[in-house]
Amino acid sequence: MTGLTPFEHASAHRALDFESIVIHGDDGIEQTADIAPPLHPTSTFAAESAAEFAEMATDARHPRYYSRYGNPTNQRVEAIIAKLEGAEAAILAASGMGAISTAVLTFVSAGDHVIIQRNHYMGTSKLFAELLPRFGVRTTVVDQTEISAFESAIQDATKLIVIETPANPTMQLTDLRAVADLARTRSIKTLADNTFSSPLNQRPLDLGIDLVMHSGTKYLGGHHDLIAGVVAGRNADVESMWQTSIVLGATLGPFECWLLLRGLRTLPLRVRQHNETAMAVATFLNSHPAIEAVHYPGSPTHPQHELANRQMSGFGGTMSFQVASSYRETEQFMAGLSLIRQAVSLGGFESLAVHAAAMWAGTLTDEQVREAGVMPNLVRLSVGLESANDIIADLESALSQVGKQSGFN
């Protein structure tokens, strides 16, 4: 087995576990003895000769030509994420929206039709509702909980189906295998946003989806210190997206990439703890009289819990719940939190919560908020790495104030 990297040597005998992939998935990218990977904060690279320069300039995605085209630091992260998702390749972008925009603009053109689901990250919704129509791309919005809705929406011009599961912020699920089977028989490309699950809890490509994307800002990075996006899939598709990305210029800088690489090293440990703590928090909320509903795929009360068990190996650290009160009293609940901080984003080491209706109102119209199913009393909670006891105590304290005013005590 001489000449193989440690990763190749080990994986020749058996498929490596996630814990090993995040440590060794980038073996062989660079010939270096450094244990901590080097950072390449450079915009361009020098060639030793005219022949080498010509080779660099003509080699697609060369990691040492110009950093908008590629960079060794970025190459390491792409290799690890591709292996985590079971993909042939991956491409990084400067944000989650940069990733999904690059993917969509690669595979649709004027006159094409796209199917999306009702519940998406707000930026994704705006991409399809406001930007793409300007370029002649039509969109049909469907209820993601009904596979028949996807089938009914298909047209001769349908080129792409975009899904997100669990969906932000309602935590509704989309049947990945059913959508993939439906699309494959009609040669329609499928793209799944896997941000809320991470590859540790769900692998859409294993269920037949063509492309999977993440906001790397969330669980993959895990430290609230970077903005990044990634799409993974087959080599040919990633090559096509790379051609689009170098034109759009949504390139992830090497420093952010180095931070993302550092975050990936501990992803399995963090996700395991997120899963465990979130389940404890969801159980507490389900039993509290001041809570109207809890939306968490791991909870037996979730209407799609059976589907979650079929396509997820873990249920993640993000949930939403409805305080049994008005918009105003939900704001009072949010004000009563002390350990859990009010901030957008999710998937990091610190617990964050947002009053979803208030946040979505700043980006979407009232009609779009209603269509997305965002209720006035809906709170999205990203469970961090604090102890479950402390998170629950903070929620209980804030809920007790709502309870005193609303008669729950």
Residue that terminates a domain, selected from 213, 236, 264: 264
Cα atoms in the 13 Å half-sphere on the side-chain side of 2? 0
Please report whether residue 333 resides in a domain: yes
Looking at the structure, do residues 67 and 164 belong to the same domain, yes or no?
Answer: yes
**CATH classification at residue 135:** 3.40.640.10
3-state secondary structure of 304: coil
Please report whether residue 311 resides in a domain: yes
Looking at the structure, do residues 170 and 214 belong to the same domain, yes or no?
Answer: yes
Helix (H) or strand (E) holding 292: strand 291-295
Q: Angle 254-264/72-85 helices, nearest 10 degrees?
A: 40
Catalytic residue among 61, 218, 270, 380: 218
Please report whether residue 188 resides in a domain: yes
Report the alpha-carbon angle 356-191-212, nearest 5.
85
Q: What per-residue string of b and e applies to 264-281 under the rule 16 or more CB within 10 Å gives b?
A: bbebbebbebbbebbbeb
Q: Angle 327-335/388-406 helices, nearest 10 degrees?
A: 140
Please report whether residue 1 resides in a domain: no
Looking at the structure, do residues 294 and 218 belong to the same domain, yes or no?
Answer: no
Q: Angle 235-248/96-107 helices, nearest 10 degrees?
A: 110
3-state secondary structure of 138: strand
Task: Give me the pLDDT at residue 369, please.
Answer: 64
Q: Which of 212, 249, 245 is nearest to 105 (CA)?
A: 245
Catalytic residue among 68, 118, 126, 177: 68
Looking at the structure, do residues 106 and 229 belong to the same domain, yes or no?
Answer: yes
- Looking at the DSSP assignment, which residues form a beta bridge with residue 162? 116, 191
Looking at the structure, do residues 242 and 128 belong to the same domain, yes or no?
Answer: yes
Query: Which tokens is 236 given?
Result: 């040919």
Looking at the structure, do residues 318 and 365 belong to the same domain, yes or no?
Answer: yes
Residue that terminates a domain, selected from 264, 291, 317: 264
Looking at the structure, do residues 79 and 210 belong to the same domain, yes or no?
Answer: yes
**Could you confirm whether 121 is annotated as catalytic?**
yes
Looking at the structure, do residues 284 and 231 belong to the same domain, yes or no?
Answer: no
DSSP track, 343-377 = -S--SSSS-EEEEHHHHHHTTS-HHHHHHTT--TT
Catalytic residue among 65, 69, 121, 219: 121
**CATH classification at residue 356:** 3.90.1150.10
Please report whether residue 160 resides in a domain: yes
Residue that terminates a domain, selected from 208, 231, 264: 264
Strand order, beta sheet including 89-93: 89-93, 229-233, 211-215, 189-193, 158-164, 113-117, 138-142
Looking at the structure, do residues 231 and 274 belong to the same domain, yes or no?
Answer: no
**Could you confirm whether 68 is annotated as catalytic?**
yes
Catalytic residue among 26, 112, 175, 193: 193
Looking at the structure, do residues 220 and 331 belong to the same domain, yes or no?
Answer: no
Looking at the structure, do residues 155 and 48 belong to the same domain, yes or no?
Answer: yes
Non-local (6+) Cβ contacts of 173 within 8 A are 144, 145, 165, 166, 167, 297, 304, 307, 308, 311
Task: Give me the pLDDT at residue 1, please.
Answer: 42
**Count of the separate structural domains present in the chain:** 2
Residue given tokens 């010509």 in the structure block: 54
> pLDDT truncated to tens, each residue of the chain (409 aa)?
455 565 665 666 578 999 999 999 999 999 888 899 999 999 999 999 999 888 888 877 888 899 999 999 999 999 999 999 999 999 999 999 999 999 999 999 999 999 999 999 989 999 999 999 999 999 999 999 999 999 999 999 999 999 999 999 999 999 999 999 999 999 999 999 999 999 999 999 999 999 999 999 999 999 999 999 999 999 999 999 999 999 999 999 999 999 999 999 999 999 999 999 999 999 999 999 999 999 999 999 999 999 999 999 999 999 999 999 888 899 999 999 999 999 999 999 999 999 998 876 666 566 666 666 678 899 999 999 999 999 999 999 999 988 565 555 4
**Could you confirm whether 193 is annotated as catalytic?**
yes
Domain region containing 163: 6-264
Is residue 249 within 8 Å of 292, Cβ to Cβ? no
Task: Give me the pLDDT at residue 57, please.
Answer: 84
Is residue 180 within 8 Å of 189, Cβ to Cβ? no
Rounded Cα–Cα distance for residues 266 and 270 (Å): 6
Please report whether residue 360 resides in a domain: yes
Query: Which tokens is 40 given?
Result: 């390449």
Q: Which of 63, 83, 65 is nearest to 73 (CA)?
A: 63
Please report whether residue 301 resides in a domain: yes
Report the predicted TM-score, pTM, of the whole model to 2 decimal places.
0.92
Sign of CA dihedral 209, 244, 226, 66: positive
Looking at the structure, do residues 273 and 399 belong to the same domain, yes or no?
Answer: yes
